[in-house]
Structure 1
Amino acid sequence: MTDRDRRNLLERRQRAAAEFVAWSDHHAQEQRHHEVLLAQLETHPDQLDGRNAMAQQRAWAQRDQHRRHLHDSALAQLRHAFR
């Protein structure tokens, strides 16, 4: 392996590590939001307002789908970076 190849490999690993840290920070933030949303759903002040609870559940589902997409994307990037 030449010096250039080693530098390229190191740069790819550093980029992948930076992307993973960014994903990890975003994931932690999403987890905090998720916990808050669950608390809102479980301790909703007006239990009879089903429409509001359903809207909260839909919003949570959309956020969760976005989080899963980011997670899958980050893993795909990491796999690609280490090839």
Structure 2
Amino acid sequence: MRAYDMIVHLRQLYQKQARHERFEISKALFQAKLSEGSLGTKKRGKGKKKGKMAKGASKCDLGALKPKAKVANDDY
């Protein structure tokens, strides 16, 4: 039996066991996250409003499309 054949055979033998162990670890991890998150959740209010928008303005018009840095003009 060659080394490659041995590796393939061992993978087939232990594949189900490794898969089951990964499942159990994932299951425990997700249960821990859910139990921690359920204790610390709070309802959040609307918060402070920043002011009135101009008539017909949308949230997209508030500067989302403005460039952040000054761009140099290239004259050719």
- Normalised-by-shorter TM-score class: 0.3 to 0.5
More helix by share: 1
TM-score normalised by structure 1 residue count: 0.38
Larger radius of gyration, structure 1 or 2?
Answer: 2
TM-score by length of 2: 0.41
